[in-house]
């Protein structure tokens, strides 16, 4: 399966710990998007990255959250000092190009983050 | 900012019957893209169908079709010959066709949970 790969599928952390979520896009895709889904809600955009660049982080909380998409390796969404409210499903999507409205975004299976 | 509204939190349909899921959106833009995504219990997000606002013709994909009413800002999904595997959450989503901050993101509705009755 050459789709978007996210790991881990489930992640449990205690309050105050760090969470790292990984996303490998579809082979050949260089545009990555992260979304968060709270229970009973639709997905909410967090950040859009191209290789080595953050293009739009308008949906990402200003503190404790960061994202990167290095030249080599997967995209990483990092949450520092996690709190209960960070419990959610985090989805990564990728697209072939970033031209506005161009190729559709293909989603991974998500990472379900639970904070104890 | 654009908003997407799905007014039906839950729907049910008999197997082999047809069901229509509603979606309305609010935007001041003239060009954009609309999508329906399916999320089964496995939580994977699967693209069902895509519509480009400047196209008059309604998109179809096998048993799935849309009724796109641009003036009314309505984008409903029709599922024909419903199957048990169609049971899932269905999300309507909007994406701008213009460059600019916030235009790369998909804006989702809250979803409609579809149950298929054998």
pLDDT digits (tens, 9 = 90+) for B13-40: 999 999 999 999 999 988 899 999 999 9
**Through-space distance between the first and last CA atoms of chain B, rounded to whole angstroms:** 41
What is the pLDDT at residue A41? 84
Could you give the CA distance from residue B61 to residue B94 in angstroms, rounded to a whole number? 18
Terminal Cα-to-Cα distance of chain A (whole angstroms):
33
For residue A108, give the chain B residue with the closest CA. B44
pLDDT tens by residue, A81-98: 999 999 999 999 998 876
Chain B window 1-60: which residues touch A at a Cβ cutoff of 8 Å? 4, 31-33, 35, 37, 42-47, 50, 52
Determine contact, residues A64/A81, Cβ cutoff 8 Å.
yes
Give the Cα separation of A66 and A60 in Å (integer).
8
Handedness of CA B100, A40, B93, A8 (dihedral sign): positive
Residue A15 pLDDT: 97
CB B70 within 8 A of CB A69: no
Quick one: pLDDT at residue A39? 83
Question: What was the pLDDT predicted at A104?
Answer: 79
Residues of chain B with pLDDT under 70: 99-103
**What integer best gives the mean pLDDT of chain A?**
91
Contact indicator for A5, A107 with CB cutoff of 8 Å: no
pLDDT of residue B2: 85
A79's tokens: 């949450």
pLDDT attached to residue A98: 64
Contact B47 A106 (CB under 8 A): yes
């Amino acid at each position: 399966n050459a789709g978007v790969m996210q790991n881990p599928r489930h992640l449990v952390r205690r309050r105050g710990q760090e969470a790292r979520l990984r996303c490998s896009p579809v082979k050949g895709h260089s545009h990555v998007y992260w979304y968060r889904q709270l229970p009973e809600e639709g997905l909410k955009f967090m950040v859009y990255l191209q290789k080595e660049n953050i293009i739009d982080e308008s949906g990402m909380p200003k503190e404790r959250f960061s994202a990167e998409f290095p030249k080599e390796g997967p995209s990483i969404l990092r949450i520092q000092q996690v709190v209960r409210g960070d419990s959610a499903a985090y989805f990564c999507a990728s697209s072939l190009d970033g031209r506005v409205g161009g190729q559709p975004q293909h989603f991974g299976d998500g990472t379900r983050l639970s904070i104890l | 900012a654009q908003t997407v509204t799905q007014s039906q939190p839950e729907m049910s349909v008999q197997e082999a019957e047809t069901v229509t899921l509603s979606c309305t959106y609010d935007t001041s833009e003239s060009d954009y893209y609309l999508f329906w995504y399916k999320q089964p219990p496995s939580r994977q997000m699967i693209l069902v169908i895509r519509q480009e606002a400047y196209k008059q013709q309604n998109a179809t994909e096998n048993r799935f079709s849309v009724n796109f009413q641009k003036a009314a800002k309505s984008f409903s999904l029709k599922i024909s010959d419903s199957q048990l595997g169609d049971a899932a959450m269905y999300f309507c989503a909007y994406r701008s066709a213009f460059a600019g901050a916030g235009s790369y993101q998909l804006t989702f509705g809250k979803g409609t949970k579809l149950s298929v009755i054998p």
